[in-house]
Amino acid sequence: MDPNHFIGWTCEPLHFRYGPIETGQFHPQGFPYFRGDQQTIDLGPEYLGNHGLSEQKIPQFKYMGLKSILDLLRSGGLWQLKDKQGSMAIHISKLRQDASAEWRGATGNSRSFVGVGHERLGSRGCRELTFGMHMQTSNAMWISLSLSLLLLTSCANDAPAGKAPRKVDPAAALTAQVKQDAANAAAADAAAAETAQQVSGGGQENPLYTNGIDESNRGDKVGKVRFSGSIPSKTGMLYLFETEGRNVAPIDSTQMVNGVFDFGEVEVGRGFYGVGFEPSKKTGDIIMNPDEPVLKIAFQNGRLVGGSTESRENQGWFAYRGQEGANKNKIRQLYKNGAGKEEETKRLVKAKEDELAGVQRQFINDYPGTYLAKFLTWKQPRFIGDKGTFLSDLDVSDNSLIRSMALPDRIQSMMRTFSGGKDAGFLSCIDLVKAACEDNPTVLEFVLYNMLDGFYNTGKETICQYILDNYIFDEDCGANLSDVIRQRAQGIINLRVGNTPPNFTIADPSGKMIDLKEEVAKYEYTLVMFWASWCHKCEQEIPNLVPMYKDFNPRGFGTIGISVDQQKMAWTKAIADNQIPWPNVSQLKGWDAPITDDYKITQTPTYFLLDKEGKIVLKPERWFEVQRFLQSRI
């Protein structure tokens, strides 16, 4: 038997739906680097053996789907999966004509191994090794494992000596075997849970799901809406914003006269739009739908969160928003008071979440055919318990998905539920999100940037790099993406170590303009510090930063403070009280300051240490990291 037809991998990272080879995908960090002839392709943190595949077969592979695997098997290749210590963790060998193989998986806490044939895998207590972690394999997962073994079988040279090798079409064999394995697994699952409606991968129907999508609100619709109304005691400009999740962009403006405004006719698609008094900040949300070509709202006050209107979309939205806000406030209070009562808190929070699902169902029934009903439908996944089907109820061809927070919220819920808080789990979810949305470049760009932005803001820059390398700047996966997402992504890339962050020119308390580029040119290293007068952690850091600054400043160390305060008096008082000796600037717009967007600031203090050329050399979290860096350099 030709050893080039051996293959080994973990079964957990392989995801597929029933049917022929259309959707196989397993997660890059479920297996390590593949090293082919003269080339390394980044597929994970460990190493696959460097046997077999010719370099022309692998230049663009960032993840492996079933089609990719079949292509590789046709060309031949030896794959071996090793753990972080370089020892063999999983190896499939001794391939026999009856499709049996030896499966070696760690059992218990020991390094013992079991040898199992293809037909008996499901009956053994075999565990998989994924990212160095042991995980019990479910019945549904044996289908995935059967796929891997079948791929081996279909490519094996098992012809008797002296005869030509038997040629087998892997795709045809795979299809037949998947059908058989699916039938076997379905029967086993039905016996285990007769009342559960199973879907591929082990998901179940969500009992809280209500479908409010019908022919009247399905898909997107673009048309003109005449938008007018009133806001008590308001004058000046009023701005209308298009939304993409949390991102907003102004699309129109009008002058208010005695509290009355009229945007005239505006061409919009179905979805949420923002209204606000500043050109870069929305104050409230409304629904605009060409099905309601005339929209008139008499807002209650300048908060823009409710008012009188004949629009059924916004009647429902204003009423629902109030109930949702009250529900979430109660959940926050439960968490706040839940210290030491985790199980009880979890139960009470679940009860409040179920209560909100009931509210959503009522509004779906009360406002049929509206965008609101569709939005509330998106709030609850149809299938739960399986990450592979968690997004399957969403119609990604519907561009109105991106004009709400429903999709970002669903993805965030998916990450919380299925990632286990581990990088490997996050990356697996990212791959599934990308696969679910890739048929619509508009929605795909939306979710990729949403995930990129979210992971950056939570400090997971390694995961950001994975999204950038594999899905945004990759020559294959990013081929259909627009320049817009690449420009947005570049903003995050510029904030990584080794790159140059945005320049700024902002006034200090006296009105003098401070230019970042000019300041960093004066010193060997310059610390850019985002802080605020009300920040308690800043109060702890500054007493240590001041003596450090005085010590290193004569040796070529500078600092610039950027305050996210809104009140000048509070800002200048904090400078005086703390005797801060370095230059300080502020746009006095709090978190709405443009500089906080440019540098993606979500907390204080946040530090960037720059060199003389303005490149980031360190992104420390504490003052002593800066001190340690400077002690070895100046």
Residue 609 DSSP SS3: strand
- pLDDT tens by residue, 125-169: 332 222 222 222 232 232 233 333 333 333 333 333 443 434 434
Could you tell me the residue ranges of all domains in the chain?
3-188, 222-311, 381-493, 505-631
- How much is the mean pLDDT over the chain? 75
Residue 170 DSSP SS3: helix
pLDDT band for position 100 (cuts 50, 70, 90): very low
Instruction: List the structure tokens of 382.
Output: 């149809």
H or E element, residue 40: strand 39-41
Q: Domain 505-631, CATH 3.30.420.40 — does that match?
A: no
Rounded CA-CA distance 338/349 in Å is 10
* Residue 193: exposure state from Cβ atoms within 10 A (0-12, 13-18, ≥19): exposed
Rounded CA-CA distance 219/214 in Å is 9
What is the DSSP code string of 104-118? ----TTS-------G
What is the DSSP code string of 310-334? S-HHHHHHHHHHHHHHHHHHHHHHH
270: Cβ contacts below 8 Å, ≥ 6 apart = 217, 220, 221, 288, 289, 290, 291, 371, 400, 403
Q: What is the pLDDT of residue 357?
A: 96
Q: Tokens 């010590």 belong to which residue?
A: 551
Instruction: List the structure tokens of 340.
Output: 């030491």
CB 429 within 8 A of CB 387: yes
pLDDT at residue 272 above 60?
A: yes
More confident residue, 608 or 281: 608
Q: Please report, as a single letter, which amino acid is at residue 84.
A: K
pLDDT band for position 242 (cuts 50, 70, 90): very high
What is the DSSP code string of 68-124? HHHHHHHH-----EE-TTS-EEE-EE---TTS--EE----TTS-------GGGGGGS
pLDDT at residue 523 above 80?
A: yes
| Nearest in space to 431 (alpha carbons), one of 444, 417, 413, 416 | 444
pLDDT band for position 476 (cuts 50, 70, 90): low
Rounded CA-CA distance 524/486 in Å is 32
H or E element, residue 134: strand 133-136
Q: Tokens 């070509």 belong to which residue?
A: 293
pLDDT at residue 347 above 60?
A: yes
The dihedrals phi and psi of 537, each to the nearest 5 degrees, come to -65, -35
Rounded CA-CA distance 609/142 in Å is 50
- Out of 65-79, 518-532, 568-582, least confident range: 65-79
- pLDDT tens by residue, 439-458: 999 999 999 999 999 999 88
Cα angle 530, 531, 534; round to 5: 160
**How far, in Å, are 31, 458, 465 from residue 462 at the CA level?**
17, 11, 5
Q: Please report, as a single letter, which amino acid is at residue 252.
A: D
- Out of 70-74, 212-216, 529-533, least confident range: 70-74
What is the DSSP code string of 450-496? HHHHHHHHTT-HHHHHHHIIIIIS-TTTTTT--HHHHHHHHHHHTTS
Rounded CA-CA distance 32/84 in Å is 9
pLDDT band for position 626 (cuts 50, 70, 90): very high
Residue 567 DSSP SS3: coil
More confident residue, 441 or 106: 441
Rounded CA-CA distance 427/424 in Å is 5
Q: Please report, as a single letter, which amino acid is at residue 609.
A: L
> How many residues are given for the chain?
634
- CA dihedral (64, 67, 70, 76) in degrees, to 10, reads -50
Rounded CA-CA distance 232/617 in Å is 51
- pLDDT tens by residue, 356-369: 999 999 999 999 99
Strand positions, DSSP E, 245-398: 247-256, 260-269, 271-276, 284-288, 294-299, 307-309, 383-384
pLDDT at residue 327 above 70?
A: yes
Cα angle 116, 122, 123; round to 5: 75
Span 72-85, mean pLDDT? 36
CB 555 within 8 A of CB 569: no
Span 23-33, mean pLDDT? 30
- Out of 32-41, 295-304, 314-323, 375-384, least confident range: 32-41
Strands 133-136 and 260-269: unpaired
- Out of 147-151, 382-386, 399-403, 547-551, least confident range: 147-151
CB 460 within 8 A of CB 423: yes
Query: CB 524: neighbour CB atoms within 10 A?
Result: 15
H or E element, residue 149: helix 139-155
Q: What is the pLDDT of residue 202?
A: 54
Rounded CA-CA distance 553/52 in Å is 57
CB 357 within 8 A of CB 350: no
Residue 156 DSSP SS3: coil
Span 293-322, mean pLDDT? 97
- CA dihedral (548, 550, 555, 561) in degrees, to 10, reads 80
Instruction: List the structure tokens of 464.
Output: 């950001």
Fold (topology level) of 222-311 = Immunoglobulin-like (2.60.40)
CB 175 within 8 A of CB 20: yes
Q: Tokens 């717009």 belong to which residue?
A: 589
Rounded CA-CA distance 54/39 in Å is 10
What is the percent of the chain with per-residue pLDDT over 90, rounded to a whole number? 60
